């Protein structure tokens, strides 16, 4: 069976189903479709209808790419279409529950939906991030009831490593970490991904591959939290932390630059450390670094909140009358994704202080694709900038006209170091 599948991979006559067409699944579908037939599947009918009308709901993906995909491939809500697929890649969300434990309902649901249509010779790959052991617990064990995994059907895990907003790294240029339940699984999966990615790293086990993804993001979380704490200390000393980092970054070794901000956002960095802690607790251990990073992240949001409230108090501006503009809704610059956004968290904190007149401006969003509670400006003008008592730079999109904002805003709290310090600009 293994040799047959590898022969089919080499023949280039493959059909691949991608389950979940979000920020991971859609780019992956488009990449694979350049060389093989793809069936993109999602339970969201509105999303499928949108894609079938040749439109992209992700800003960095052009409508033309979706249009080209639709010429030879399909988007559907029908899971029965996976029957003809050689490879099935699961890219569904893995959020957190209220108790901070992983919500695996999307993975479980995806497996249940594909299971009736599986057959011998197919390969199932999980790309959704979760705790080490997820692939075995929720895919291998379930499929083993009807198939011999590793002989009749093949299973593996490969972490997605997309970095939204970066134009210097195309998806296919990022080294792809792959793993398999068994050696035949690994051989098949590594051969498969070699068709689309320039460099492949073969992990020795599912657990190593799953853990490596968490390690990547815990590393970033800890370091971002660390530099955010340094920002708070520097502020108390009256020192510009961004100038400190510039100086430290001149060292040619032993120092990796991280920039501070108003907190940590996105789906991965705030969430993945908690996945790791969840797994660690099963072995009677809790990561102090993970807990500390989460605490500092909360303190960083509070730090910006206090900067805002302090300014209002010093200028005798009553909270309920204050007009504040938050620049940036996305969780990081140059993207259209507001999941776990520091900007929204800050908005929620300020709202609890009875600061109600809060508006946002973010060129990557339109009024029809933001949460209902968000009041979004269509554009920035000299007139509407002057209406606000305070402008807070939360997300530093490169497309912002910083000179224009600096010229027309009354006062600015800069959380990203994009403005030079002056009587008008406060570091936040």
Per DSSP bridges, beta strands 390-393 and 357-361 are unpaired
Whether residue 141 is found in the same domain as residue 263: no
Whether residue 251 is found in the same domain as residue 158: no
Whether residue 182 is found in the same domain as residue 277: no
pLDDT at 299: 92
- CATH number, domain of 151, equals 3.40.50.720
- Residue 259 forms part of a structural domain: yes
pLDDT at 6: 85
Checking if the pLDDT of 408 tops 60, the result is yes
Domain count, the chain: 2
Whether residue 189 is found in the same domain as residue 298: no
Catalytic positions = 268
pLDDT at 96: 85
∠ Cα 396 176 38 (to 5°): 95
**Which pair of structure tokens corresponds to residue 144?**
């083993």
Whether residue 206 is found in the same domain as residue 248: no
Which DSSP string corresponds to 286-302? --HHHHHHHHHHHHHHH
Whether residue 209 is found in the same domain as residue 335: no
pLDDT at 298: 87
Q: Which residues are CB-neighbours of 159 under 8 A, at least 6 positions away?
A: 127, 129, 177, 209, 210, 212, 213, 216
Domain of residue 305, residue span: 242-427
pLDDT at 166: 64
Checking if the pLDDT of 164 tops 80, the result is no
- Residue 159 forms part of a structural domain: yes
Inter-axis angle of helices 272-281 and 288-314, to 10 degrees? Answer: 140
Whether residue 271 is found in the same domain as residue 416: yes
The runs of H, that is alpha helices, within 238-287 are 241-248, 272-281
Whether residue 160 is found in the same domain as residue 292: no
Give tens-digit pLDDT for 312-355.
999 999 999 999 999 999 999 999 889 889 999 999 999 999 99
pLDDT at 19: 98
pTM reported for the whole predicted model: 0.91
Give tens-digit pLDDT for 60-71.
889 999 999 999
Whether residue 279 is found in the same domain as residue 420: yes
- Residue 232 forms part of a structural domain: no
- Residue 314 forms part of a structural domain: yes
Distant-in-sequence contacts of 116-119, Cβ < 8 A, 24+ apart: 116/80, 117/79, 117/80, 117/82, 117/83, 118/82, 118/88, 118/143, 118/146, 118/147, 118/153, 119/83
Checking if the pLDDT of 171 tops 90, the result is no
- Residue 351 forms part of a structural domain: yes
Whether residue 259 is found in the same domain as residue 389: yes
- Residue 68 forms part of a structural domain: yes
């Amino acid at each position: 069976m293994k040799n047959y599948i590898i022969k089919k991979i080499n023949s280039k006559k493959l059909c691949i189903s991608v389950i979940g067409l979000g920020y991971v699944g859609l780019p992956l579908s488009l990449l694979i479709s350049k060389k093989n037939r793809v069936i993109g599947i999602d339970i969201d009918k509105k999303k499928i209808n949108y894609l079938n009308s040749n439109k992209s709901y992700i800003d960095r993906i052009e409508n033309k790419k979706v249009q080209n995909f639709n010429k030879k491939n399909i988007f559907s809500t029908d899971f029965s279409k996976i029957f003809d697929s050689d490879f099935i890649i699961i890219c569904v969300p893995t959020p957190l529950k209220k108790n901070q434990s992983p919500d695996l309902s999307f993975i479980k649901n995806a497996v249940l939906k594909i299971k009736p249509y599986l057959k011998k010779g197919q390969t199932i790959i999980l790309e959704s991030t979760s705790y080490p052991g997820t692939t075995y617990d929720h895919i291998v064990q379930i499929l083993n009831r009807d198939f011999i995994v590793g002989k009749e059907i093949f299973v593996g895990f490969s972490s997605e490593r997309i970095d939204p907003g970066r134009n210097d790294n195309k998806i296919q240029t990022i080294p792809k970490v792959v793993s398999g339940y068994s050696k035949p699984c690994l051989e098949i999966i590594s051969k498969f991904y070699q068709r689309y990615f320039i460099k492949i790293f073969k992990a020795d086990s599912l657990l190593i591959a799953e853990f490596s993804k968490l390690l990547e993001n815990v590393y970033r979380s800890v370091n971002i939290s660390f530099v955010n704490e340094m920002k708070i200390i520097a502020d108390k000393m009256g020192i510009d932390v961004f100038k400190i980092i510039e100086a430290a970054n001149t060292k040619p070794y032993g120092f990796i630059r991280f920039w501070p901000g108003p907190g940590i956002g996105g789906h991965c960095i705030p969430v993945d450390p908690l996945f790791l802690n969840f797994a660690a607790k099963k072995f009677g251990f809790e990561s102090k670094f993970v807990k500390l990073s989460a605490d500092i992240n909360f303190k960083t949001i509070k730090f910006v909140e206090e900067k805002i409230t302090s300014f209002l108090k010093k200028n005798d501006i009553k909270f309920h009358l204050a007009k504040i503009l938050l620049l940036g809704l996305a969780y990081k610059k140059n993207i259209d994704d507001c999941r776990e956004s520091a900007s929204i968290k800050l908005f929620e904190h300020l709202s609890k202080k009875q600061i109600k007149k809060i508006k946002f401006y973010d060129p990557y969003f339109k009024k029809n694709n933001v949460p209902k509670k968000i009041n979004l400006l269509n554009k920035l003008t000299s007139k509407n900038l002057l209406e606000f008592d305070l402008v807070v730079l939360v997300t530093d999109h490169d497309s912002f006209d910083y000179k224009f904002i600096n010229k027309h805003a009354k006062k600015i709290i800069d959380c990203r170091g994009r403005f030079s310090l002056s009587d008008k600009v406060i570091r936040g």
